[in-house]
Amino acid sequence: MKEKTLNEQIQITTDNLTELEKEQADLPKRMSDAANDADSASLISLKHRANDIPVELLATQIRLERLYVQRDELRLPQLQAEVAKLAEPIEGMQKQINDLQREFNLASGAVASAGDDVRETKMAIAERKRTIEALLRDARNVKIAPTSLQMHGGR
């Protein structure tokens, strides 16, 4: 059965269900009116109807649910195909994301490594400057021994 036909049957069944619910809600008033009018034939007929309506309501609700199931079962292959179609680009995008994530991780690692190199080089420079300063201090304190020429009158 086509979805359009099912939708039409769903609408008709929904309308029938609404009418049955209205009729059931109106029964007490109709029975009261029949009792007030002393209309025993109507009272008997309404009493039978009061017994029949719950069964009809359940049957109509069951029919409506079955129609919904049929309609949804018809739609399911189309929806599944749509999911598959929409999922196709996601696989490619996921690969791109993974590739970009790898590139990002490599670049981040390179930046961190370069930062470590900068820190280590600055520390090495600072250490060498301290060594130079210590050597210069030591050089100021060095006593130069006179050479043999200075001792013997040379310039």
Number of domains into which the chain is organized: 1
Q: Is position 149 within any domain?
A: no
- What pLDDT does 57 receive? 97
Q: Is position 151 within any domain?
A: no
pTM of the model: 0.56
pLDDT average, residue stretch 98-111: 96
DSSP symbol at 37: T
Q: Is position 148 within any domain?
A: no
Q: Is position 87 within any domain?
A: yes
Q: Which domain, by its residues, includes 31?
A: 3-141
pLDDT average, residue stretch 10-29: 96
- Encoding tokens for residue 107? 């670049």
- What pLDDT does 149 receive? 61
Q: Is position 11 within any domain?
A: yes
Q: Is position 147 within any domain?
A: no
Rg (CA), the chain: 49
* 145 CB burial (10 A radius; 0-12, 13-18, 19+): exposed
Closest CA to 3 of 65, 52, 57, 73: 73
